[in-house]
Amino acid sequence: MHIHVKKLHENAKLPVYASPHSAGADLCSVAEYDVPAGATVFVHTGIAIELPADTVGLIYARSGLACKQDLAPANKVGVIDSDYRGEIIVALHNHGSETRKVCAGDRIAQLVVTPYYTGEFSFTDELSSTVRGEGGFGSTGNR
């Protein structure tokens, strides 16, 4: 699938897949940021994208950055709707105890493009029964 990308900043980079079977394309920072411990910083990518209809762009953490540098998207998973045309900005949160630096060109998150379904919601008095029923929050066991 072809995705148009608009360059909004001179340092912007196209999203790039790290390997032929990567599900997520790396998003890069266009500037340098200090991310203090416990803080969230809006990191600009300098790009806007035109996703095909009936797809969504999901922004996930890069595992190495999250595990080694304590930096991950503040909202856990960002959602880019197919009709959004603004800049992709990642709210990067520092879960650690020391300030981290993001440099221009650093890979800060990954973008997964996937199809989605929309539902038609309506109220009802009854739902179909299942073996699980209303059990939640660990009700199916510990392991």
CATH number at residue 58: 2.70.40.10
Report yes or no on 124 lying in a domain. Answer: no
Report yes or no on 123 lying in a domain. Answer: no
Report yes or no on 133 lying in a domain. Answer: no
pLDDT value, residue 137: 78
CA-CA distance, 40 to 60, in Å (whole number)? 15
CB 57 within 8 A of CB 111: yes
pLDDT value, residue 14: 98
The confidence band for 131, taking pLDDT boundaries of 50, 70 and 90, is confident
The confidence band for 143, taking pLDDT boundaries of 50, 70 and 90, is low
Each residue of 5-58: pLDDT tens digit? 999 999 999 999 999 999 999 999 999 999 999 999 999 999 999 999 999 999
Each residue of 97-110: pLDDT tens digit? 999 999 999 999 99
Q: Is 77 exposed, middle or buried (0-12, 13-18, 19+ CB in 10 A)?
A: exposed
Report yes or no on 42 lying in a domain. Answer: yes
pLDDT at 117 over 80: yes
Report yes or no on 136 lying in a domain. Answer: no
pTM over 0.75: yes
Residue 73 φ/ψ, nearest 5 degrees: -55, 135
CA-CA distance, 30 to 105, in Å (whole number)? 6
Report yes or no on 129 lying in a domain. Answer: no
The confidence band for 135, taking pLDDT boundaries of 50, 70 and 90, is confident
Report yes or no on 34 lying in a domain. Answer: yes
- Structural domain boundaries enclosing 54: 4-115
Domain count of the chain?
Answer: 1
Report yes or no on 29 lying in a domain. Answer: yes
